[in-house]
Structure 1
Amino acid sequence: MKYLEKIQELLPLGYLYLIILGLLKESILFYQLGINILKYSSITDILISPIADMASSPILIIIIISVVLFFFLFQVILVKNSDKNWSKKLLGSYKINQDVDKRTLQKMMIPIFATLIPLELLALFVGLGWGEGNIIKKRINTQNLKYNYKIISESGIPTDIYMIDINSSYYFYVAKGDKNIKIAPVGKINTLELIKKK
């Protein structure tokens, strides 16, 4: 019951951390494209950015769950084999002796586990932001974009575009044959049509 209460206390901090990671990822991605995304984001966009990232990419959810499971299983294996030489070398900083039982050792490992997970998530989100931004920038410069949407703006002319991102107020896209990123308010676009992959 105490563990459940601790988890309930830590959930808001965990969500706040995910919001910071989402902001960091978006800022790094758009910085490479010359856009200060915070100027174009509402509070709602900021609050849902980590959930939107995870919902739009099932692979990201799988990676996050895999990382958590890996560290958890690694901890369990390390504690179960605490009497073996390889485990003693890894746990050397704890000065393991015969008096330390496995339950105490497990409790001692919790702070390490609680530190490694946020660091791994930080590396993951920063890497995703950097990688995505870099790929988009190169594709724009070489005009190697897969145009995934067709828009009809107030002018009524349909245009094939590569959609970089959408938030509650703006579309960020590159029109076919153009190297400039356009930022259009949502109200200025009449129709947004997904182009089916062939």
Structure 2
Amino acid sequence: MKYSDEIQKLLPLGYIYLVVLGILKESFFYYQFGINILKYSTIMDILISPIADFMSNPITLVTIVLIFIFHIYLPKILQKYNHKKSVQKLFKLKPTDELSEQETINYYNTLTLKLLASVLLYFFVGTGIGNGHFALERIKNNTAQYNSKLNYTTGESEQIFLLGCNSLYYFYIQKGTKIIKITPLASIKNIESNLKTGFVSK
């Protein structure tokens, strides 16, 4: 079986894995604010969570692309430099002298997939925990920037620090308070945000 055929068979499982990672990232982020995000999410929110995460920031997108590119070439790199002790120690390689050529290829491919899965897990979970932690610290220390304005269909407005949103709700902190509000999109006319300059502005 060709490696490309194996990849095609693994793609559905790979996407399911990315969906799980997206759920974990969102869960770890919102859990720090006492929110069970799954209660406020639709099936569509869950299914598109990996794509939303990839496209959320240019730095995130470039990082993910580089991670995938590196792991595409990693099996060949491991085969070429498997005799070096530093590579053996770094990737915990096992001897392949008694393996056939195809078995050796399969070994490095499997090792690469496991490594890719681990790297993505650390990246998504770490991003969720880190972003939530820093946002919570800014709120506690009164350094959060309330640079968004929610305009309700009733005509009322609020200056807010936006935590995030999905297809049904906005999650935010109102200026002057430390109370988390969860508001349905149907009750919001529009949201105004200050203009952000720069390619990697957050």
Using structure 1 for the length normalisation, give the TM-score: 0.86
Indicate the SS of the match to 2:155. Answer: coil
Q: Which residue of 2 aligns with 1:4?
A: 4
CA distance in 2, matches of 1:92, 1:43: 39
Richer in helix (by share) = 1
Change (3 A) 1:100 1:6: closer
CA distance in 1, matches of 2:161, 2:70: 36
Q: Which runs of 5+ in 2 are unaligned?
A: 198-202
Per-residue deviation, residues 2-54 of structure 1 (Å, max 9, x unmatched):
43332222111111001000000000100111101111111111111111111
Q: Which residue of 2 aligns with 1:160?
A: 159
Taking the TM superposition and a 5 Å limit, the aligned residue runs for 1:110-129 are 110-129=109-128
**Pairwise CA distance, 1:91:** 7.9
CA distance in 1, matches of 2:196, 2:83: 56
CA distance in 2, matches of 1:76, 1:142: 49
The one-letter code of the counterpart of 1:172 is: F
CA distance in 2, matches of 1:96, 1:178: 62
Change (3 A) 1:112 1:134: same
Instruction: Assess if the C-alpha contact under 8 Å between 2:74 and 2:112 holds in 1.
Output: no
**Pairwise CA distance, 1:100:** 6.0
Taking the TM superposition and a 5 Å limit, the aligned residue runs for 1:8-47 are 8-47=8-47
Using structure 2 for the length normalisation, give the TM-score: 0.85
Between 134-143 and 120-129, the greater mean CA deviation after superposition: 134-143
Identity of aligned residues (%): 42
Taking the TM superposition and a 5 Å limit, the aligned residue runs for 1:92-131 are 94-97=94-97, 105-131=104-130
Between 39-48 and 99-108, the greater mean CA deviation after superposition: 99-108
CA RMSD of aligned residues (A): 2.5
Q: Which runs of 5+ in 1 are unaligned?
A: none
Indicate the SS of the match to 2:48. Answer: helix
Q: How many residues are matched?
A: 197
- Computing the radius of gyration over CA atoms, which structure comes out larger, 1 or 2? 1
Instruction: Assess if the C-alpha contact under 8 Å between 1:170 and 1:184 holds in 2.
Output: yes
**Pairwise CA distance, 1:125:** 0.5
Instruction: Assess if the C-alpha contact under 8 Å between 1:25 and 1:125 holds in 2.
Output: yes
Q: Which residue of 2 aligns with 1:63?
A: 63
